[in-house]
Amino acid sequence: MIQAPIFHVNGDDPEACMRAARLAYDYRQTFNRDVVLDIVCYRRFGHNEGDDPSYTQPQMYKIIDQMRSVRKIYTETLVRRGDISIEEAEAALNDFNERLQNVLDEVRTVPVPELTGVPFVKVPLDAPAPQTGVDRATLIEIARATMSAPEGFTIHPNSSVSSPNVASCWMRAKSIGHWARRWPSDRS
């Protein structure tokens, strides 16, 4: 068991998060002991640009999509309290977006390094399929099961599994290796 205090804080309250972080830092500096900061919040857009949490949590993310962002709510709070003006808030947002854009533009000018010396084994397209220990009929049965849904169940429209190209490519394949080489380019 970890003998450490746990500070729970609402991630929708930036000022409470800052106070909790300062408290956790001060505790750590004063007592030289571990502390846990539990920020209760959600990811609006998932882990990264390739992650769509609406696949696994569709109902929750319908609600999240309708919620106003913490930035907007906090900006309105600051303006309402008179801490900043609307013009200052807009200028700060424009400055932040401009800084992000500048960094993105700078990163895009960096040449992509060329990898050399990485071993590469070229496999001919007509190479025989490796023995997998699973017969073709079983694999086709599994593929059909994963590419279909029970009646009344809707597969997420962005799921590449629901793509007719994937299913037809899989069914035409002579082997797993053949299927992998023919994987449709429209997959996400």
Least confident among 20-24, 84-88, 115-119, 182-186: 182-186
Which residue has better confidence, 185 or 21? 21
Cα-flanking dihedrals φ and ψ of residue 176, to 5°? -60, -45
Q: Tokens at residue 171, please?
A: 């069914």
d(CA 31, CA 15): 24
CB atoms within 10 A of CB 158: 11
Pick the closest to residue 9 from 37, 48, 42 (CA basis).
Answer: 37
All residues at 6 or more sequence positions from 62 whose CB lies less than 8 Å from its CB, including other chains: 54
Taking only the tens place, the pLDDT of each residue in 78-89 is: 999 999 999 999
Q: What is the Cα–Cα distance from 85 to 68, expressed in whole angstroms?
A: 20
Cα distance between residue 97 and residue 71, in whole Å: 13
**2 by DSSP, 3-state: which?**
coil
pTM listed for this prediction = 0.59
